[in-house]
């Protein structure tokens, strides 16, 4: 039985186990109820068909002529009661099993979905890690075997491996953050220094691509977590720089409504097609356009992580783009 259960999927075996527990509980109650009913029934029969009172005539069962008729009646009634109780219990068993199975499936459905999402995440993550690791391994092995290799020829290989290692570090950091269950501590955050920090951090990358970052965020406060806001801005700025042409501009601005503060990151890149705008926040999703997939390094985790962090701060992240000239990402946080 145990081995058979192992062959079923985790979800199916858990459903069967839970069904088993439900049925066991139901049958225990049903049998207990039947025993009590049997006791009451037989005692009522005995009471109703009590021994003959003085003056009453004892009648005998015509079948054998020796068994008193009342005892015969008690026996028949008891038999009928037992049959009814057995039928009742079989009905409870069959009906209860079906209802319990459906109930168990329903109970376990959210767990099944969470489990499936987790295994999909793990396999996608492993897939993302495997390809660059395999490329790096081959490259290093080939060069290690090359007897004529010199420091000069090996240097570019090492540099490319180092670049790959740094990408893998970003990837593993993002995976760890996505897997973590820790909720950020929320408080009132001064946005200006956080934005300045995030911009300063990304300037070397912007300089490599000769991109200017125009930060226009003035003093303002929002409810959130400084570290998370800086991480979100880091992701948005990183994308704005990655997907924009060289020598373009990235703008960081803010605005406010009655209850919220908005931070906007706008670039002059290719923009994001309308149809893709809902999907880019999904894990591992990358827009299937050669300009973003082949030329720009990434794993499709940045925006899903950004959205998760913004939602943990009770905020919202949206994108606006006509799909041609630039994209504007807006992070909205409560005041
Ligand atoms: P990654 O950048 O690692 O691919 P993200 O989750 O950060 O992953 O982004 C998902 C996809 O959204 C990117 O692959 C890219 O196609 C698109 N995208 C994100 N930001 C921009 C942007 N500023 N301009 C154009 N496309 C973008």
pLDDT in tens, 174-197: 888 888 878 889 999 999 999 999
Ligand 1 atom, smallest distance to 265 CA = 23
**Is the CB of residue 303 below 6 angstroms from any atom belonging to ligand 1?**
yes
Mutation probe of ligand 1 site: the residue of 213, 286, 321 with most atoms within 8 A of C-beta: 286
CA distances from 255 to 63, 227, 232, 259 (A): 101, 21, 17, 11
3-state helix, strand, coil in the chain (%, to 5): 60, 15, 25
Q: Whose CA is nearest to atom 21 of ligand 1?
A: 239
Q: Which of 10, 6, 2, 12 lies closest to 101 in space, CA to CA? A: 12
Tell me, in angstroms, the distance from the centre of ligand 1 to residue 19's CA. Answer: 46
pLDDT at 86 over 70: yes
**Is the CB of residue 315 below 6 angstroms from any atom belonging to ligand 1?**
no
pLDDT at 51 over 70: no
Mutation probe of ligand 1 site: the residue of 125, 276, 303 with most atoms within 8 A of C-beta: 303
Residue 153 burial (10 A CB sphere; 0-12, 13-18, 19+): exposed
pLDDT category at 50 given cuts 50, 70, 90 is: low
Mean pLDDT over 86-106 rounds to 96
Tell me, in angstroms, the distance from the centre of ligand 1 to residue 300's CA. Answer: 7
Q: Report helix, strand or coil for 233.
A: helix
Instruction: Return the beta strands (E) in 122-191 as ranges.
Output: 187-190
pLDDT in tens, 212-251: 999 999 999 999 999 999 999 999 999 999 999 999 999 9
Among 51-60, 82-91, 106-115, 308-317, where is mean pLDDT lowest? 51-60
Q: Whose CA is nearest to atom 25 of ligand 1?
A: 271
**Is the CB of residue 237 below 6 angstroms from any atom belonging to ligand 1?**
no
Mean pLDDT over 130-147 rounds to 87
Name the β-bridge partners of 330: 264, 318
Quote the pLDDT of residue 243: 92
Residue 237 burial (10 A CB sphere; 0-12, 13-18, 19+): buried
DSSP 298: -
Quote the pLDDT of residue 48: 78
Tell me, in angstroms, the distance from the centre of ligand 1 to residue 177's CA. Answer: 18
pLDDT in tens, 272-290: 999 999 999 998 888 875 4
Quote the pLDDT of residue 118: 83
pLDDT at 293 over 50: no
Tell me, in angstroms, the distance from the centre of ligand 1 to residue 257's CA. Answer: 27
Q: What is the mean pLDDT of the chain?
A: 88
Task: Indicate the pTM of the whole model.
Answer: 0.70
**Is the CB of residue 239 below 6 angstroms from any atom belonging to ligand 1?**
yes
Residues 6+ apart with CB under 8 A from 180: none
Mean pLDDT over 110-127 rounds to 85
**Is the CB of residue 243 below 6 angstroms from any atom belonging to ligand 1?**
yes
Answer left, alpha or beta for residue 65, where phi above 0 means left and psi between -120 and 50 means alpha.
Answer: left
């Amino acid at each position: 039985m145990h081995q058979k259960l192992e062959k079923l999927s985790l979800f199916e075996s858990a459903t069967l186990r839970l069904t088993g527990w439900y049925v066991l509980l139901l049958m225990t109650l049903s049998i207990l109820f039947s025993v009590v009913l049997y006791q009451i029934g037989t005692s009522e029969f005995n009471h109703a068909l009590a021994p003959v009172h003085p003056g009453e005539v004892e009648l005998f069962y015509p079948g054998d002529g020796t068994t008193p008729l009342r005892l015969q009646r008690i026996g028949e009634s008891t038999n009928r009661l037992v049959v009814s109780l057995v039928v009742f219990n079989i009905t409870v068993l069959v009906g209860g099993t079906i209802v319990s199975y459906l109930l168990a499936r329903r109970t376990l459905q959210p767990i099944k979905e969470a489990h499936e999402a987790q295994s999909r995440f793990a396999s996608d993550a492993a897939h993302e890690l495997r390809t660059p690791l395999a490329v790096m391994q081959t490259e290093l092995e080939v060069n290690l075997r090359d007897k004529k290799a010199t420091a000069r020829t090996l240097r570019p290989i090492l540099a490319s491996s180092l670049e790959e290692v740094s990408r893998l570090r970003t990837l593993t950091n993002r995976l760890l953050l996505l897997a973590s269950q820790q909720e950020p501590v929320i408080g009132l955050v001064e946005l200006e220094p956080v934005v300045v920090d995030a911009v300063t951090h990304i300037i070397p990358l912007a300089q490599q691509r000769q991109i200017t970052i125009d930060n226009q965020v003035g003093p303002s406060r929002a409810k959130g977590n400084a570290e998370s806001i800086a991480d979100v801005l880091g992701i948005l700025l990183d994308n704005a720089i990655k997907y924009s042409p060289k020598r373009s501009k990235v703008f960081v601005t803010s605005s406010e409504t009655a209850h919220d503060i908005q931070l906007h990151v706008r670039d002059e890149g290719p923009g994001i097609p309308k149809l893709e705008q809902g999907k880019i926040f999904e894990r591992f999703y990358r827009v299937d356009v050669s300009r973003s997939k082949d030329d720009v390094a990434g794993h499709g985790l940045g925006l899903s992580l950004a959205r998760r962090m913004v939602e943990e701060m009770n905020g919202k992240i949206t994108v606006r783009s006509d799909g041609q000239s630039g994209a504007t990402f807006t992070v909205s946080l409560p005041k």
